[in-house]
Chain A
């Protein structure tokens, strides 16, 4: 016979365990009359595999505390105001219910669910022994394949990979943080450059690095990438060139791109694994906002904020004119052409007979057009006009391409000095060569004048006079 002086622990289900481990209505073995809550909890779970763990954890919680949340379902038969005073005096023979619960059946099921919600939340959030710990204890270590080649079957545990801390140790924490802080700046700068050029520079950079890797094998990628960048990013077309000659210019963006590659290499970021299409405007905007707001001294406000450092800089801003050699850019050539067209139109519309005679002419013939082009090429020694391809008349003016651009003639050499500054001209369908002007004054001559002059030179064998009045330039002012 065994004798014990302790109260024996009788194994058995608790009330909560009974509720959480069954579905449907209770039966003779159930400890409570409520519907089983197993499905109720499972519906809340995003990860089904965690259900047994969570239910186990919930079962360990102190039970019967849900009684404290209970209330009676039915209305009090008498005045509620008097109940509180009568609670202590309640007797089984009383005709009104007590102010507390006497039986489990009196508990409302909705309150029971509310209580389950509470402990479910507590289990999820619990930092010590909660779901986080449970899942960590159950986790199987993921082995990642080594990226040494397509056929490689080698795997490595994540703990063996280099981590952020390793890189910090390698390059020093302050330098690491500085590099990290400058990454958004560099990415944004390259994005801006791409916007200017109309090329997705970041994608180009990633694909360029990948190509270098393929081509170079085991050579130093960084050296190759830098030389590649200098070759591609720096290759810009100066504005005044006709698009034919490229110039290599070491610009600020090239430096940024090289710094980005350096930083990524130091920080252990493999740019080649990045997806260039993810660098969208939205991403860059978000990154920019985060970058600006994370700066020290940023004042956060409901309707936007500002940076104290910038404000201080503004207050002591140097406005020295010498450091800001800026001028308004001139109104573009297209404007000047339209202005010239307006002058001609207004000149035509002038009511004076003399003006009407000057401008009202028949359209030039195809032969006249060809003769003029030859004469122009002869007089200006510029034969490029003959290689311009198909020339057509559009909206009353000679145009190239599909009529999208005006044919611009260099007339500087054909004008007398006093009629300068006019350097370029356009040809009307009526055979007038008109100087392009941004003012209300311009000069024009007829193509017949030029053709005749060229023929005279041919006949006499004489040399061309520099911009003489002989070409019959006329002035028009509106």
Chain B
């Protein structure tokens, strides 16, 4: 990631990889997702050095918890994990998913009944989700780096990697997709 990046800080200012003139400000949402304030689509464009860009959707890992059909509307799930919505919208989205997705409901039932009852429900929810997402992110980053990829950016629960055009190691990445 770019120069000056320190992931322990609440706000990360970094120099974009392959774009030395571009500065990216990554901020953490209220529930802990990283989101670039500008240049979100920087790596949606082809690179001039001929490398291919692979985008990995971290939210794909939530299918293990909440069922295969959970990402039909990814925006809603991103809202749930990042908290990037008004309180009212957040509550209505969560209630809708709770009523209509049985696996999501079962998972939420479990953390409601068997989670640490000294903590509020939203904290239990976010802690478990965030832990799962961070673990799957670390797994994918490790896989990609071992396969010869380079981490470019993490934003909106997407990971962007660059790979040499003749490198097929990206195919091992769960949820990976060549976009350029």
Q: How many residues of chain B have a CB within 8 Å of chain A?
A: 56
The reply to whether B102 and A440 contact each other, CB–CB distance below 8 Å, is no
Q: Can you name the residue of chain B whose Cβ is closest to the Cβ of A289?
A: B106
The reply to whether A317 and B17 contact each other, CB–CB distance below 8 Å, is no
Contacts A295-B113, A306-B109, A329-B134 known; A439 to B103 CB distance under 8 Å?
Answer: no
Q: Mark A185-196, 1 if CB is under 8 A from B, else 0.
A: 100110010000
The complex places the Cα of A332 from the Cα of B140 at a distance, in Å, of 12
Extra A-B contacts (13), CB below 8 Å, given A319-B122, A324-B122: A252-B118, A292-B106, A311-B98, A314-B95, A317-B91, A317-B94, A324-B31, A326-B123, A331-B141, A335-B151, A338-B146, A342-B145, A438-B1
Residues of A within 8 A of B123 (CB): 323-324, 326
A219 interface hit (Cβ, 8 Å): no
| Residue of A303, A306, A321, A477 with most partner-chain B CB within 10 A | A306
The reply to whether B33 and A328 contact each other, CB–CB distance below 8 Å, is yes
Interface residues on A, range: 35 or more
B2 interface hit (Cβ, 8 Å): yes
Q: Mark A24-41, 1 if CB is under 8 A from B, else 0.
A: 000000000000000000
B19 to chain A, nearest CB (A): 11
The reply to whether A311 and B95 contact each other, CB–CB distance below 8 Å, is yes
A318 interface hit (Cβ, 8 Å): yes
Q: Is the interface of B mostly helix, strand, loop or mixed?
A: helix
Residues of A within 8 A of B8 (CB): 330
Residues of A within 8 A of B98 (CB): 306, 310-311, 314
Q: Can you name the residue of chain B whose Cβ is closest to the Cβ of A437?
A: B5
Across chains A and B, which 7 residue pairs bring their CB atoms closest together, nearest first? A304-B102, A338-B145, A328-B32, A330-B7, A306-B105, A439-B5, A441-B3
A12 to chain B, nearest CB (A): 65
B169 interface hit (Cβ, 8 Å): no
The complex places the Cα of A240 from the Cα of B31 at a distance, in Å, of 24
A339 to chain B, nearest CB (A): 7
Q: Can you name the residue of chain A whose Cβ is closest to the Cβ of B33?
A: A328
Q: Is the interface of A mostly helix, strand, loop or mixed?
A: mixed
Per the 8 Å Cβ criterion, residues 144-173 of B in contact with A are 145-146, 150-151
Residues of A within 8 A of B (CB): 185, 188-189, 192, 252, 288, 291-292, 295, 301, 303-307, 310-311, 313-319, 321, 323-324, 326-332, 334-335, 338-339, 341-342, 346, 421, 438-441, 477-478
The reply to whether B1 and A439 contact each other, CB–CB distance below 8 Å, is yes
Residues of A within 8 A of B44 (CB): none
Q: Mark B100-111, 1 if CB is under 8 A from A, else 0.
A: 001101101110
The reply to whether B145 and A335 contact each other, CB–CB distance below 8 Å, is yes
The reply to whether A292 and B113 contact each other, CB–CB distance below 8 Å, is yes
Residues of A within 8 A of B87 (CB): 317, 319
The reply to whether B116 and A252 contact each other, CB–CB distance below 8 Å, is yes
The complex places the Cα of A249 from the Cα of B86 at a distance, in Å, of 38
Residues of B within 8 A of A342 (CB): 145, 150
Contacts A317-B91, A338-B146 known; A439 to B14 CB distance under 8 Å?
Answer: yes
What are 20 A-B pairs at a CB distance below 8 A? Answer: A288-B114, A291-B113, A304-B105, A307-B112, A310-B108, A310-B109, A310-B112, A311-B95, A315-B95, A317-B87, A318-B120, A319-B90, A326-B32, A326-B126, A327-B28, A328-B33, A328-B34, A329-B134, A339-B1, A440-B3
